[in-house]
Structure 1
Amino acid sequence: MSDAGALLLAGGGHSHALLLKRWAMQPERRPQHSITLVNRTSTALYSGMVPGLIAALYKRDELAIDLRQLCDRAGVAFVEAEITGLNPQAKYLRLRDRPALHFDWLSLDVGSVSRPSAAGIPIKPLEASLAFLESENPADPKPLRVIGAGAAGLEVVLALRRRWPQRELQLQQRSGQLDPGIQEVLQRARIALIENEIPNSGPNLLCTGSQGPDWLTTTGLPLDPNGRIRTDRCLRVEDHPSLFASGDCAVISASPRPASGVWAVRAGRPLATNLEAVCQGQPLRPWHPQRQALQLIGSHEDTAWAQWGSWRLGPSPLLWRLKQRIDRAFMAGFLQPASMADAAPMACRGCAAKLAAQPLAAALEQVGLGGQPEDAASLPGSEKLLQSMDGFPALVSDPWLNGRLTALHACSDLWACGAAVTSAMTTITLPMASANEQQELLVQTLAGIRSVLDEQGAELIGGHTMESRSASPVPASLGVQITLTVNGNSPKSPWLKTGLRPGDALLISRPLGTGVLFAGAMSGATKAADLDAAQRTMAYSQHTLLEQLEPIREGIHACTDITGFGLLGHLGEMLQNSPELTVKLDGPAIPAYPGALELFECGVSSTLAPSNRAAWRWLEGPVQLKQHPSAALLELLVDPQTCGPLLLGCTAEAAAQLTQNGPWLQIGNATAAHG
C-alpha cells in the first residue's frame, strides 16, 4: 500500500472547529488520509459568548464546542494533549509527557495568549482566568482592575459589572484612548476609568492584547513582532509549503488583521479549501479578507453596540438581541443532527465488546473448561506466580491513550488477586493502512502500554504484531486491537473471588458508568465534561492501591475487578459457590460517574447491557437491595466497565481503615443466608 500521508491539526481553534464541522456534514470533502486533531482540552470555548459566560448569562456548556464528538463525526482521530514544540524540518509535533506526533501536512490553529505587560491574571488562556473569576468573592472590598481598554477589555469589564453588581471595578486605559460615548457607558456602569498606572490594591485582569504561544518562538517559523506565524494568502506558512496556520496564532503578511474570533471564523472556509487541495495535489486558492469586520459588543444593560472600524451604532437592545441570536445560531451549528443521533446504535467498544456471559459460559462448559472463573491463574509450580490475559477493540481514537487504557484494564486482573505486575507481552493487530501510518500507530500504542508498565516497575518483554484483514474504520486508529498477557507475583496466597465471609463489608474503589458514557458519546448524548471526568479516572493506575491493602491483607477475604459483566455480574461470580451467603447492597451508596444516571434515565445503554441484564436474577436470590431501586440504578448494576473498580470483601475493621484513608466506599455487606 502506498504512503498516503498524514494531516495533523494542531489546536482546536475556531478555524479547525469549522473545518471539522464541514467534514462531518460533507464527508465527501474529507481528504482520504490519516487526520488527527490535537488539543489540550476536549472542548473549545466560542469566544463570541465568553463575555456572556463571564457575566453569568450563559453556562459553560452553552459555549463549549465538543471537539471529541466533532472529530468522531468527521472521521478524525482526537488526541487530548498539550503541545510543547514543533520541528518543521523533521515534521513532528512535540507533546507533554507523550511521544511526538509525525505529519506530512500540519495546520496550526493554537490560539494566542495574553501579552504580558503588568502584574496580574492574563485573560488568555481562558481556562485559568475563568477559574480565577469563579474563585473571587463578589463582596471583596478590594477593587478588581481590568488593564487594557480595547474591545476585549471593555466587554470583560462590562460583563464583570453584570456578574458583580456591587463590587468596585476599574478599567485602565491609555490617556485619551476612549471617546466620550464609551466613557458615558462606563460611568453609568459605575466603572472607574484609570488613566495611569497607580498600583491597585486588588487583583488585575490583563486584557492587554495577545501574542502567539511562547513555544512558537523555538520553532524557527517566520513570526511577526507579536509572535504570530506569517502566512501567505493561501494560509500557508511562508517558506514552509507543508505547513498552514490560521486564527489568532497567525497573520497573513500581505493582509494583516488583528487577532479576533471574527477573523478566525472567516478563515475556516479558505483553510478547509486549501487543506483539501494540498492533500489532493491540487492548486491552492488565495484568500482576500475584507478590510474591516463588524463587531457586536455587549454592555451590562441588555444592550450592545455595533462597531465597524471607527463607525459605531448603539448601544441598543435590538443589537443585543441580534448578537445573542447570531451567537446561539453559531453554536447550534455544531450540534449533532437529529438524524445522526437517532440512527441505529453502533456496537460499543472497550470491554463492552466482551462476549455475553451466557454463550461464554455455555461454550466453556461444552469443552470442559467450566467451573469457577478467577481473575488470574497461578502458574504451574507456584501459586504466587500469576498470569492473566485481556484486551479489546480500540475504545478511543487516540492510540497512545488506547494503549494505556487497555494495559490498565489488563493489569487490574492481577491487582484484584493482590499481585504486583512484573512483566507483560502483547499482541497488536493494526488496521490495513500505509506503512508510515502503521508505524506511527504502533509507536503510539506501545508507548501507551509502556506508560502503565513503567509506573509499576514492570517490563514489556515481547509480543507479536498482525495486520487486520477487515476494512479499516475511519479514523484508522479505531482499527487497532490489543491483547495483553500480564504476569505478576503475590507475596502471599492470592485473593480469590470466592472467599467472601459472613460479616464482611463490600467495598468499591471507583465509580461505575463507563459503558453508558461511551455509548452516549456515540450519539452525542454524553456531555464532554462528564466523559472527561470518567477518562481522567480510568487513565489513573490503581496499582497504588496494593500498597494500601498490603498491611491489612489478612483482613481481605475476596476481591475481583468489575469489568464487562458489570457490578452485578461479577458479584454473582463471587457468590456462585456460596449458597450460605446473602449480600445486601446499599443502592444510594454505589458511586456513579457524573452524567451516567441521567443517561440511563434518557434510555441510553451499552450494547452489552441487554445480555448483562440476565444478572438481575441475582436480585431474586442472594443479592438484596436495601432500598427500592430506580430503573437507572438497575441499569448501573449491569453496565459494562472498562478500567473499572476493584470490588473487595473484608472485615469491618479493615473496611473502617480503608474508607478513612483511600478512595474506597462501602456499598454493602455479606451476611449468613439465614441472617
Structure 2
Amino acid sequence: MQQPQPPLGLQALRDIVLVGGGHTHVGVLKRFAMRPEPGVRLTLICRDTHTPYSGMLPGYVAGHYGYDDVHIDLRRLAEYAGARFFADEAVGIDHESRRVLCHSRPPVPYDWLSINIGSTPRVGRVHGADAHAVPVKPIHRFNDRWQTLLQRIEAHPGTTRVAVVGGGAGGVELLLAMQYRLGRELSARGRDPAELRFALFTRGEHILPTHNPRVRRHFEATLRRRGVAVHAGTEVVAVEEGRLQADDGRWHDADEIVWVTNAGGADWLKDTRLALDDDGFIRVGETLQSLSDPRIFAAGDIAHQVDHPREKAGVFAVRQGRPLADNLRAAVTGRPLSPYRPQRDWLALISTGDRHAVASRGGLYLAGDWAWRWKDWIDRRFMARFNDLPPMTEDAMKAPARSRVALDEDESAQAISALAMRCGGCGAKVGATTLSRALSTLEPVAREEVLVGLHAPDDAAVVRVPPGKDMVHTVDFFRAFIDDPYVFGQIAANHALGDIFAMGAEAQTATAVATVPQGLEAKVEDTVFQMMSGAVEVLNAADCALVGGHTGEGSELALGFAVNGLIDSDSTALMTKGGLRPGQVLILTKPIGTGTLFAAHARLAARGRWIDAALASMVQSNREGAACLHEHGATACTDLTGFGLLGHLVEMTRPSGVDAELDLAALPLLEGAEETVAAGILSSLQPANVRLRRAIRDQAAWVEHPRYPLLFDPQTAGGLLAGVPAERAEACLSALHARGYTHATIIGRINSAGETLEPITLTTTMLEAS
C-alpha cells in the first residue's frame, strides 16, 4: 500500500538522471522548469556545457550564425530547471545498484535514467578513417578542426581539397555550407575561390535517398553548378593522410576528410544489459523505455523505437521532449505511462550554403530564399525557448503542497522524520551507519606520522611532528555555491590547502567538518560520498592525510577543513605576508573573478563556459605554484580568498612596511568577469570588501574604470599573490606557465613606503619585469 506522502520541503526523494544534452533532454529540462515535481531531483550528465542545435550547424559553418546563436547553454538551462549539472561523460551502467558510471567522477545513482546522447559516426569501420578523417560528431571535435581549417586556408595560399563522405541531407548540406564559407573567406582576401576543390562520396546510387526526386534533382544541379565532384555508388574503404580509397581501388586526394555517415550507438552501450539493434542503438517501446530495463528511457538518435522506426532526424528528438518528460514524471509518481507514436512524414528545410533553402516533405518540393528565411525564423524561435529564459510566472511556480513521489514504508518513515523537528547538539550528527557506508570506499593517503587516524578510528587523531619541523595550522569552511557535490568537495579542499602552500609549507593532515541537508538515508549517503570523494582526491594529490572529521545535518551543503602543515624549523622556506621588499614585482598565478561570476550564475546571467573556466581554475592546486615562487626567491606570499585582491594586498603591505603599485590593465581575469561586473552583478561580500578603498591613493579617479570593481571581488580557491625579485620575475613566469599556471602574470611592483597614508597606487600602464 502506498504510504502517506511528506509535504514539500525535502530535498530529494527520487533521482532522475539525464545522460546527454540532446534535443530531447533540453525539452525535458524546460518542462520540469516550468512545472517542478516536488521531491524529484534532476541531474544532467554531459561532457559539453554548450550543446549545438543540429538544424543550425550548417548555418554556423556557412558563417550566418555565431557560436552562441547555435548552442544551447546546458549549465544555465539546468540551473533554471533546478537540476544538477555534472560536466562528465557516461561510460557504463551498473544496473543492480542503479548507478551511471562516469569517465572522471564517482558513479551517479539514479531511480530513473534517460539517455539522449545522439549517434556516433563509425569511422572505425573503415581502415584509417579514425586517424585521418574528422567525424561531424561529436560537434566540438569537428568545430575545432573546422576553425583550424579556416586559419590554415587564410595563412597558406594554394589548392585545398575537401572530401565529404556521406550523401544524405547532413553531408550535402554541410559540404555546401563549407564551400560557401571558405569561398567567401578567399574572396575577402583577394584570392580565387577556385583554389578549393570539393568532392562528395556516397555509396548510394543517389544523394538524399530519403527525399523525393525533385528535391534530389535540385541538389544535384546545385552541386554540379558549384563544381562539386559527386561520386555516387562509391564506398570509401580506406583513408590515409591526404587521400582516401574507393571500393574500385582508386585513390582520391583530399587535404580534409569529413565523415557524415555510418552512424551508430556509443561503444560503451555494448557493455550494458540494454537491448540494442544491429547499429548499437537502444531498442525502446512506445513509452520510450528500454525493452530490457524499464527503469531506463532513451530518446533522440540513440533510440530505436521498434514499433515505429524512423529516420535519424532532429525533428523526432525535439518532439520526444514532451512525451519523455510526461513519462518520467509519471514513472516517478507511480502513474501509468503513455505511448508516443511519431508522425510518418515531416518537414525538412535543407539549406544550400547561401541564404537559400529547399522544403521537402513526402512528395512536396519548394525552394527559394524565402524558404531559408522561414527556416531561420523556425530555428531562432526554437533556440529562444532554451536560451531566452523568462522569469517563472506565478502559475508556473505553483507546486503541489505535498510530494507525489511514490515511497515504500521505510522511505516514507525516513521522509517524515527528516522533516520533523530536528535535534540539536550531537543529535544533529549524520547517522553512523550512513556515514560509514559513504566513507567506506574512500582511500585517504597514508603518512607514517599518523599514528591514529581513519585507518584506526578513535576519538581523536594522533599525529607525530617529525624532528626539525614546525607545525602550520589553518582552517576554512563555506557552504556550497554549485550543485555538484563532487566538484564542490574538490574546491573546498583546494581552498583549505591554499593557506598551507602560501606559507611555503607542505600539507600533512586534514580534519573535515561537513554539513549535509537531511533527507532519505540513501540520498544523504551519496551526497557525503560524492563530496568527500572530490575532497580526498585533492588531499591525496597533495599528500595530505584525511585523519577524521564530523558530519552534521543542516539546511545547506557545506564543507571545511582544519589542515596541519609542516615546514622546516629554520624557516628558510617560510613565506609570510610581511615579507614584501621594495624593488620586487607582484606575481598573481591565477585569474580573478569567481565572486561576480557565481553571483551571475545564480541569476542565470553567466554563460556556461564562463563557469566551466572558473571551476577549472578553482580546482587547480596552488602546491606547484608555491614551490615555483619559492624557488625563484619569493619572500612574501598569500592565497586570494574572500577579501579579494585589494584586501589581501593591503594585508601584505602593512606588515611589510611598503607601498604597492597595481596595474589594472595587467590583471588576469576569468572569461566573463568584466561582462558580469559591467552588468552590476557583484558578490554579496563585495560591499564589505569595498570599505578597503581608502587604501587606494586617489581612488576617486578610478571608480569608473571597468576593472575597478574586480579589485574587491572575493575569490574562492584563488591563486597566489607573491613578491618576487624583479630580476628573477621573467624566469619565474616561464616556470609557472610550464607548470600549468597559464594565466600567471606580473600585476605590479613594490615600492618603498611613501609619505601618504594610502599604500596602494593604481595604474593602467603595463609593467615591465625589470
* TM-score higher than 0.5: yes
Deviations 1:246-288 (A, max 9, x none): 1111111100112221111010000000000000000000011
Could you tell me how far apart the structure 2 residues matched to 1:124 and 1:231 are?
23
Alpha-carbon offset, residue 338 of structure 1: 5.0
Deviations 1:299-344 (A, max 9, x none): 12311111123x2423211110000000000111113545469xxx
Could you tell me how far apart the structure 2 residues matched to 1:607 and 1:535 are?
19
Check if 1:97 corresponds to 2:101. no
Deviations 1:466-506 (A, max 9, x none): 111x3xxxxxxxx3110111111123522211121222211
SS in 1 for 2:714: coil
Check if 1:632 corresponds to 2:706. yes
Provide the residue aligned with 2:642 in structure 1.
564
Provide the residue aligned with 1:658 in structure 2.
732
Paired residue for 2:30, among 1, 16, 21?
21
Runs of at least 5 residues in structure 2 that lack an aligned partner in the other structure? 1-5, 184-192, 208-215, 235-245, 394-464, 756-770
Indicate how the Cα distance of structure 1 residues 340 and 511 shifts in structure 2: closer, same or farther if over 3 A, else same: farther
Paired residue for 2:143, among 122, 125, 130?
130
Between stretches 537-546 and 434-443, larger displacement belongs to 537-546
Provide the residue aligned with 1:536 in structure 2.
616
Could you tell me how far apart the structure 2 residues matched to 1:647 and 1:508 are?
5
Paired residue for 1:249, among 294, 302, 313?
302
Check if 1:171 corresponds to 2:200. yes
The answer on whether the counterparts of 2:500 and 2:565 sit within 8 Å (CA) in structure 1 is yes
Q: Residue type of the partner of 2:326?
A: T
Q: Residue type of the partner of 1:10?
A: V
Could you tell me how far apart the structure 1 residues matched to 2:57 and 2:753 are?
59
Deviations 1:45-98 (A, max 9, x none): 111111111112111111211111111111111111111111223311111122
Check if 1:526 corresponds to 2:544. no
The answer on whether the counterparts of 2:119 and 2:265 sit within 8 Å (CA) in structure 1 is yes
Paired residue for 1:7, among 12, 16, 35?
16
Paired residue for 1:504, among 577, 584, 597?
584
SS in 2 for 1:650: strand
Between stretches 321-330 and 379-388, larger displacement belongs to 379-388
The answer on whether the counterparts of 2:80 and 2:604 sit within 8 Å (CA) in structure 1 is no
Provide the residue aligned with 2:314 in structure 1.
261
Provide the residue aligned with 2:283 in structure 1.
230
Could you tell me how far apart the structure 1 residues matched to 2:47 and 2:487 are?
14
SS in 1 for 2:379: helix
The answer on whether the counterparts of 1:143 and 1:200 sit within 8 Å (CA) in structure 2 is no
Between stretches 433-442 and 662-671, larger displacement belongs to 662-671
Check if 1:398 corresponds to 2:484. yes
Identity %: 35
Q: Residue type of the partner of 1:270?
A: P
Check if 1:205 corresponds to 2:258. yes
Alpha-carbon offset, residue 432 of structure 1: 1.4
Q: Residue type of the partner of 1:274?
A: N
Could you tell me how far apart the structure 2 residues matched to 1:5 and 1:633 are?
44
Alpha-carbon offset, residue 15 of structure 1: 0.8
Indicate how the Cα distance of structure 1 residues 284 and 31 shifts in structure 2: closer, same or farther if over 3 A, else same: farther
Provide the residue aligned with 1:360 in structure 2.
none
Between stretches 52-61 and 136-145, larger displacement belongs to 136-145
Provide the residue aligned with 2:520 in structure 1.
434
Deviations 1:89-134 (A, max 9, x none): 3311111122111111111112111122542211111111111111
Check if 1:33 corresponds to 2:34. no
Q: Residue type of the partner of 2:690?
A: R
The answer on whether the counterparts of 2:508 and 2:564 sit within 8 Å (CA) in structure 1 is yes
Provide the residue aligned with 1:489 in structure 2.
566
Provide the residue aligned with 1:295 in structure 2.
348
Could you tell me how far apart the structure 2 residues matched to 1:340 and 1:380 are?
59
Indicate how the Cα distance of structure 1 residues 175 and 674 shifts in structure 2: closer, same or farther if over 3 A, else same: closer
Q: Residue type of the partner of 2:710?
A: L
Paired residue for 2:681, among 569, 585, 604?
604
SS in 2 for 1:60: coil
The answer on whether the counterparts of 2:504 and 2:627 sit within 8 Å (CA) in structure 1 is no
Q: Residue type of the partner of 1:299?
A: T
Check if 1:306 corresponds to 2:359. yes
Alpha-carbon offset, residue 628 of structure 1: 5.3
The answer on whether the counterparts of 1:189 and 1:300 sit within 8 Å (CA) in structure 2 is no
The answer on whether the counterparts of 2:167 and 2:204 sit within 8 Å (CA) in structure 1 is no
Check if 1:153 corresponds to 2:205. no
SS in 2 for 1:465: strand
Indicate how the Cα distance of structure 1 residues 140 and 532 shifts in structure 2: closer, same or farther if over 3 A, else same: farther
Deviations 1:434-462 (A, max 9, x none): 11100110110110001101212221111
Could you tell me how far apart the structure 1 residues matched to 2:346 and 2:217 are?
23
Could you tell me how far apart the structure 2 residues matched to 1:33 and 1:272 are?
12
Runs of at least 5 residues in structure 1 that lack an aligned partner in the other structure? 342-378, 471-478
- Listed as ranges, the matches of 1:353-372 within 5 Å are none
Could you tell me how far apart the structure 1 residues matched to 2:69 and 2:158 are?
28
Could you tell me how far apart the structure 1 residues matched to 2:90 and 2:600 are?
29
Check if 1:646 corresponds to 2:709. no
Could you tell me how far apart the structure 1 residues matched to 2:15 and 2:703 are?
50
Indicate how the Cα distance of structure 1 residues 668 and 611 shifts in structure 2: closer, same or farther if over 3 A, else same: same
Could you tell me how far apart the structure 1 residues matched to 2:514 and 2:702 are?
45
Provide the residue aligned with 1:112 in structure 2.
119
Could you tell me how far apart the structure 2 residues matched to 1:634 and 1:155 are?
48
The answer on whether the counterparts of 1:556 and 1:654 sit within 8 Å (CA) in structure 2 is no
Provide the residue aligned with 1:365 in structure 2.
none
Could you tell me how far apart the structure 1 residues matched to 2:719 and 2:563 are?
18
Provide the residue aligned with 2:407 in structure 1.
none
Provide the residue aligned with 1:348 in structure 2.
none
SS in 2 for 1:241: coil
The answer on whether the counterparts of 2:76 and 2:607 sit within 8 Å (CA) in structure 1 is no
Between stretches 329-338 and 505-514, larger displacement belongs to 329-338
The answer on whether the counterparts of 2:32 and 2:325 sit within 8 Å (CA) in structure 1 is no
Indicate how the Cα distance of structure 1 residues 174 and 31 shifts in structure 2: closer, same or farther if over 3 A, else same: farther
Provide the residue aligned with 1:330 in structure 2.
382
Indicate how the Cα distance of structure 1 residues 450 and 200 shifts in structure 2: closer, same or farther if over 3 A, else same: farther
Q: Name the count of aligned residue pairs.
A: 620
The answer on whether the counterparts of 2:59 and 2:353 sit within 8 Å (CA) in structure 1 is no
Could you tell me how far apart the structure 1 residues matched to 2:515 and 2:379 are?
45
Q: Residue type of the partner of 1:160?
A: M
The answer on whether the counterparts of 1:428 and 1:483 sit within 8 Å (CA) in structure 2 is yes
Alpha-carbon offset, residue 464 of structure 1: 1.0
Could you tell me how far apart the structure 2 residues matched to 1:499 and 1:201 are?
64
Check if 1:451 corresponds to 2:537. yes
Could you tell me how far apart the structure 2 residues matched to 1:583 and 1:618 are?
11
Could you tell me how far apart the structure 1 residues matched to 2:519 and 2:204 are?
61
Q: Residue type of the partner of 1:191?
A: V
Alpha-carbon offset, residue 550 of structure 1: 4.0
Could you tell me how far apart the structure 2 residues matched to 1:200 and 1:547 are?
54
Please report the TM-score for the alignment, with normalisation by the length of structure 2.
0.77
The answer on whether the counterparts of 1:336 and 1:524 sit within 8 Å (CA) in structure 2 is no
Check if 1:43 corresponds to 2:96. no
Q: Residue type of the partner of 2:582?
A: P
Q: Residue type of the partner of 1:514?
A: T
SS in 2 for 1:98: coil
Could you tell me how far apart the structure 2 residues matched to 1:446 and 1:254 are?
45
Which contiguous aligned blocks of 4+ residues in structure 1 show a shift greater than 6 angstroms?
379-383
The answer on whether the counterparts of 2:327 and 2:338 sit within 8 Å (CA) in structure 1 is yes
Provide the residue aligned with 1:346 in structure 2.
none
